[in-house]
Amino acid sequence: MLTVDFDRLGLRPGERVLDMGCGAGRHAFEMYRRGADVVAFDQDADELAGVLELFGAMKEAGEVPSGAEADVKEGDALAMPFGDGEFDRVVAAEILEHVPADLQAIDELVRVLRPGGTLAVTVPRWLPEMICWKLSDDYHNTPGGHIRIYSDTELIGKLTNAGLVYDGRDYAHGLHSPYWWIKCAVGVKNDDHPVAKAYHRLLVWDIMKRPRTTRYAEKVLNPLIGKSLVVYFHKPDA
Protein backbone atom coordinates (compact mmCIF):
# COMPACT_ATOMS: atom_id res chain seq x y z
CA MET A 1 0.00 0.00 0.00
CA LEU A 2 1.83 3.07 -1.29
CA THR A 3 1.22 6.62 -0.11
CA VAL A 4 3.75 8.44 -2.30
CA ASP A 5 3.21 8.92 -6.05
CA PHE A 6 6.65 8.20 -7.50
CA ASP A 7 5.77 9.58 -10.90
CA ARG A 8 4.95 12.88 -9.24
CA LEU A 9 8.18 12.66 -7.24
CA GLY A 10 10.05 12.31 -10.55
CA LEU A 11 11.84 9.07 -9.69
CA ARG A 12 13.98 7.63 -12.50
CA PRO A 13 16.06 4.44 -12.78
CA GLY A 14 19.63 4.77 -11.57
CA GLU A 15 18.93 7.61 -9.14
CA ARG A 16 20.14 7.40 -5.56
CA VAL A 17 17.16 7.57 -3.21
CA LEU A 18 16.56 7.56 0.54
CA ASP A 19 13.57 6.12 2.38
CA MET A 20 13.96 7.81 5.77
CA GLY A 21 12.09 5.97 8.51
CA CYS A 22 11.41 3.10 6.13
CA GLY A 23 9.67 0.82 8.65
CA ALA A 24 8.78 -2.44 6.93
CA GLY A 25 10.00 -1.03 3.61
CA ARG A 26 6.91 -0.56 1.45
CA HIS A 27 8.20 2.55 -0.35
CA ALA A 28 11.79 1.30 -0.51
CA PHE A 29 10.62 -1.85 -2.28
CA GLU A 30 8.68 0.11 -4.91
CA MET A 31 11.65 2.41 -5.59
CA TYR A 32 13.88 -0.66 -5.97
CA ARG A 33 11.39 -2.19 -8.44
CA ARG A 34 11.63 1.04 -10.44
CA GLY A 35 15.40 0.66 -10.78
CA ALA A 36 16.63 3.15 -8.20
CA ASP A 37 19.71 2.83 -5.99
CA VAL A 38 17.87 2.63 -2.65
CA VAL A 39 18.95 3.19 0.94
CA ALA A 40 16.33 2.17 3.51
CA PHE A 41 17.05 4.06 6.74
CA ASP A 42 15.54 3.41 10.16
CA GLN A 43 16.45 3.13 13.84
CA ASP A 44 14.80 -0.30 14.21
CA ALA A 45 17.38 -3.02 13.52
CA ASP A 46 14.77 -5.78 13.41
CA GLU A 47 12.72 -3.96 10.77
CA LEU A 48 15.85 -3.33 8.71
CA ALA A 49 16.82 -7.01 8.85
CA GLY A 50 13.47 -7.92 7.30
CA VAL A 51 13.81 -5.20 4.64
CA LEU A 52 17.29 -6.38 3.69
CA GLU A 53 16.08 -9.97 3.40
CA LEU A 54 13.27 -8.96 1.08
CA PHE A 55 15.64 -6.84 -1.03
CA GLY A 56 17.64 -10.01 -1.61
CA ALA A 57 14.55 -12.05 -2.42
CA MET A 58 13.38 -9.44 -4.92
CA LYS A 59 16.73 -9.53 -6.70
CA GLU A 60 16.80 -13.33 -6.82
CA ALA A 61 13.25 -13.40 -8.21
CA GLY A 62 14.19 -10.98 -10.99
CA GLU A 63 11.77 -8.30 -9.78
CA VAL A 64 14.27 -5.46 -10.15
CA PRO A 65 16.06 -4.05 -13.21
CA SER A 66 19.66 -4.98 -13.84
CA GLY A 67 22.05 -2.60 -12.09
CA ALA A 68 19.62 -1.49 -9.38
CA GLU A 69 21.07 -1.66 -5.88
CA ALA A 70 19.49 -1.59 -2.42
CA ASP A 71 20.83 -1.55 1.12
CA VAL A 72 19.79 -0.66 4.66
CA LYS A 73 21.28 1.71 7.20
CA GLU A 74 20.52 2.01 10.91
CA GLY A 75 20.72 5.40 12.57
CA ASP A 76 19.15 8.53 13.99
CA ALA A 77 16.91 10.77 11.86
CA LEU A 78 18.38 13.80 13.65
CA ALA A 79 21.95 13.02 12.55
CA MET A 80 21.92 10.84 9.45
CA PRO A 81 25.23 9.29 8.38
CA PHE A 82 25.10 10.61 4.81
CA GLY A 83 26.90 13.36 2.96
CA ASP A 84 25.40 16.69 1.96
CA GLY A 85 23.37 16.42 -1.25
CA GLU A 86 23.87 12.65 -1.47
CA PHE A 87 20.37 11.75 -2.70
CA ASP A 88 18.38 12.61 -5.83
CA ARG A 89 15.04 11.78 -4.19
CA VAL A 90 14.04 11.50 -0.53
CA VAL A 91 10.91 9.99 1.00
CA ALA A 92 9.83 10.43 4.63
CA ALA A 93 6.51 8.61 5.03
CA GLU A 94 4.56 8.72 8.31
CA ILE A 95 7.61 9.56 10.42
CA LEU A 96 7.66 13.25 11.40
CA GLU A 97 4.59 12.88 13.63
CA HIS A 98 6.70 10.60 15.84
CA VAL A 99 9.74 12.89 16.15
CA PRO A 100 9.87 15.44 19.00
CA ALA A 101 12.57 17.52 17.24
CA ASP A 102 10.82 17.60 13.88
CA LEU A 103 12.58 20.78 12.72
CA GLN A 104 15.95 19.09 13.20
CA ALA A 105 14.74 16.04 11.28
CA ILE A 106 13.52 18.29 8.45
CA ASP A 107 16.89 20.04 8.33
CA GLU A 108 18.54 16.63 7.88
CA LEU A 109 16.16 15.73 5.04
CA VAL A 110 17.04 18.98 3.29
CA ARG A 111 20.76 18.54 3.93
CA VAL A 112 21.05 15.11 2.29
CA LEU A 113 18.92 16.08 -0.74
CA ARG A 114 20.90 17.37 -3.72
CA PRO A 115 20.09 20.75 -5.26
CA GLY A 116 17.39 20.14 -7.83
CA GLY A 117 16.29 16.95 -6.09
CA THR A 118 12.77 16.22 -4.90
CA LEU A 119 11.25 15.22 -1.57
CA ALA A 120 7.94 13.64 -0.54
CA VAL A 121 6.74 13.81 3.05
CA THR A 122 3.60 12.12 4.35
CA VAL A 123 1.91 12.51 7.74
CA PRO A 124 -1.55 11.70 9.13
CA ARG A 125 -4.02 14.30 7.90
CA TRP A 126 -5.39 16.77 10.47
CA LEU A 127 -9.12 15.94 10.46
CA PRO A 128 -9.01 12.11 10.43
CA GLU A 129 -6.20 12.18 12.98
CA MET A 130 -8.02 14.61 15.28
CA ILE A 131 -11.08 12.34 15.27
CA CYS A 132 -8.88 9.40 16.30
CA TRP A 133 -7.36 11.43 19.16
CA LYS A 134 -10.82 12.49 20.36
CA LEU A 135 -12.13 8.93 20.29
CA SER A 136 -9.20 7.25 22.03
CA ASP A 137 -6.29 8.25 24.24
CA ASP A 138 -4.73 4.83 23.62
CA TYR A 139 -4.43 5.63 19.91
CA HIS A 140 -1.61 8.10 20.48
CA ASN A 141 -0.52 7.79 24.13
CA THR A 142 1.91 4.96 23.51
CA PRO A 143 5.72 4.89 23.53
CA GLY A 144 6.94 6.03 20.12
CA GLY A 145 3.42 7.03 19.09
CA HIS A 146 2.08 10.16 17.46
CA ILE A 147 3.02 13.29 19.40
CA ARG A 148 1.49 15.97 17.15
CA ILE A 149 -1.15 16.56 14.51
CA TYR A 150 -0.02 18.60 11.52
CA SER A 151 -2.24 20.94 9.59
CA ASP A 152 -1.39 21.30 5.91
CA THR A 153 -0.25 24.86 6.54
CA GLU A 154 2.04 23.94 9.42
CA LEU A 155 3.80 21.10 7.58
CA ILE A 156 4.23 23.05 4.35
CA GLY A 157 5.48 26.06 6.30
CA LYS A 158 8.10 24.09 8.21
CA LEU A 159 9.47 22.55 5.02
CA THR A 160 9.54 25.80 3.05
CA ASN A 161 11.21 27.56 5.98
CA ALA A 162 13.92 24.91 5.77
CA GLY A 163 14.74 26.00 2.23
CA LEU A 164 12.53 23.83 0.02
CA VAL A 165 10.12 24.89 -2.73
CA TYR A 166 6.57 23.61 -2.44
CA ASP A 167 5.31 21.70 -5.49
CA GLY A 168 1.90 20.49 -4.35
CA ARG A 169 -0.04 18.14 -2.12
CA ASP A 170 -2.29 15.12 -2.27
CA TYR A 171 -4.39 13.00 0.09
CA ALA A 172 -4.37 9.21 0.29
CA HIS A 173 -6.11 6.22 1.88
CA GLY A 174 -9.63 7.58 2.21
CA LEU A 175 -10.96 4.07 2.87
CA HIS A 176 -8.65 3.70 5.86
CA SER A 177 -9.92 6.59 7.97
CA PRO A 178 -13.23 4.89 8.90
CA TYR A 179 -11.33 1.77 9.93
CA TRP A 180 -9.24 3.71 12.44
CA TRP A 181 -12.30 5.56 13.74
CA ILE A 182 -13.93 2.18 14.36
CA LYS A 183 -10.79 0.89 16.08
CA CYS A 184 -10.60 3.96 18.29
CA ALA A 185 -14.29 3.67 19.19
CA VAL A 186 -14.22 -0.03 20.12
CA GLY A 187 -10.63 -0.14 21.48
CA VAL A 188 -7.47 0.12 19.41
CA LYS A 189 -6.30 -3.31 20.62
CA ASN A 190 -9.70 -4.95 20.21
CA ASP A 191 -8.96 -6.73 16.95
CA ASP A 192 -11.76 -9.26 17.57
CA HIS A 193 -14.60 -6.76 17.50
CA PRO A 194 -16.91 -7.90 14.66
CA VAL A 195 -17.19 -4.48 13.00
CA ALA A 196 -13.42 -3.91 13.12
CA LYS A 197 -12.77 -7.42 11.79
CA ALA A 198 -15.24 -7.00 8.95
CA TYR A 199 -13.79 -3.65 7.86
CA HIS A 200 -10.26 -5.04 8.09
CA ARG A 201 -11.24 -7.88 5.75
CA LEU A 202 -12.57 -5.28 3.32
CA LEU A 203 -9.28 -3.37 3.37
CA VAL A 204 -7.21 -6.52 2.83
CA TRP A 205 -9.46 -7.54 -0.06
CA ASP A 206 -9.14 -4.07 -1.55
CA ILE A 207 -5.33 -4.08 -1.28
CA MET A 208 -5.05 -7.53 -2.83
CA LYS A 209 -7.67 -7.22 -5.59
CA ARG A 210 -7.84 -3.46 -6.23
CA PRO A 211 -11.30 -3.62 -7.83
CA ARG A 212 -12.59 -0.71 -9.86
CA THR A 213 -15.42 0.06 -7.41
CA THR A 214 -13.17 0.66 -4.40
CA ARG A 215 -10.59 2.50 -6.52
CA TYR A 216 -13.34 4.92 -7.52
CA ALA A 217 -14.64 5.15 -3.93
CA GLU A 218 -11.19 5.98 -2.61
CA LYS A 219 -10.66 8.58 -5.33
CA VAL A 220 -13.84 10.31 -4.17
CA LEU A 221 -13.03 9.95 -0.46
CA ASN A 222 -9.37 11.01 -0.56
CA PRO A 223 -10.00 14.78 -0.81
CA LEU A 224 -12.59 14.54 1.97
CA ILE A 225 -11.24 12.09 4.56
CA GLY A 226 -7.95 10.78 3.16
CA LYS A 227 -5.97 9.38 6.09
CA SER A 228 -2.62 10.72 4.86
CA LEU A 229 -1.43 14.12 3.70
CA VAL A 230 1.31 13.92 1.05
CA VAL A 231 3.39 17.00 0.22
CA TYR A 232 5.95 17.35 -2.56
CA PHE A 233 8.93 19.73 -2.68
CA HIS A 234 12.13 20.36 -4.56
CA LYS A 235 15.42 21.81 -3.39
CA PRO A 236 16.47 24.89 -5.36
CA ASP A 237 19.54 24.59 -7.55
CA ALA A 238 22.63 26.05 -5.96
Percent of the chain that is helix, strand, coil (3-state, to 5): 45, 20, 35
**Residue 74 falls inside a structural domain:** yes
* Residue 167: predicted pLDDT: 98
**Residue 1 falls inside a structural domain:** no
Model confidence band, residue 1 (pLDDT cutoffs 50, 70, 90):
confident
Read off the pLDDT of each residue in 19-30 and give the average, rounded to a whole number. 97
Q: Which residue in 99, 94, 47 sits closest to 78, CA to CA?
A: 99
* Residue 46: predicted pLDDT: 96
**Residue 204 falls inside a structural domain:** no
Of the chain, the percentage scoring pLDDT greater than 90 comes to 97
Read off the pLDDT of each residue in 8-36 and give the average, rounded to a whole number. 98
Q: Which residue in 232, 234, 233 sits closest to 3, CA to CA?
A: 232
Of the chain, the percentage scoring pLDDT greater than 70 comes to 100
**Residue 46 falls inside a structural domain:** yes
Read off the pLDDT of each residue in 213-237 and give the average, rounded to a whole number. 96
> Considering its fold, how many domains does the chain have in total?
1
Model confidence band, residue 102 (pLDDT cutoffs 50, 70, 90):
very high
Domain span at 74: 6-125+132-173+225-234
State pLDDT tens for residues 127-181. Answer: 999 999 999 999 999 888 999 999 999 999 999 999 999 999 999 999 999 999 9
**Residue 205 falls inside a structural domain:** no
Beta strand residue intervals within 21-164, DSSP E: 37-42, 70-74, 87-93, 113-124
Read off the pLDDT of each residue in 186-211 and give the average, rounded to a whole number. 94
**Residue 203 falls inside a structural domain:** no
**Residue 153 falls inside a structural domain:** yes
Q: Is the pLDDT of residue 119 over 80?
A: yes
Q: For residue 153, what is the domain's CATH number?
A: 3.40.50.150
For the chain, the average pLDDT equals 97
pTM equals 0.95
β-pair type (87-93, 16-20): parallel
**Residue 207 falls inside a structural domain:** no
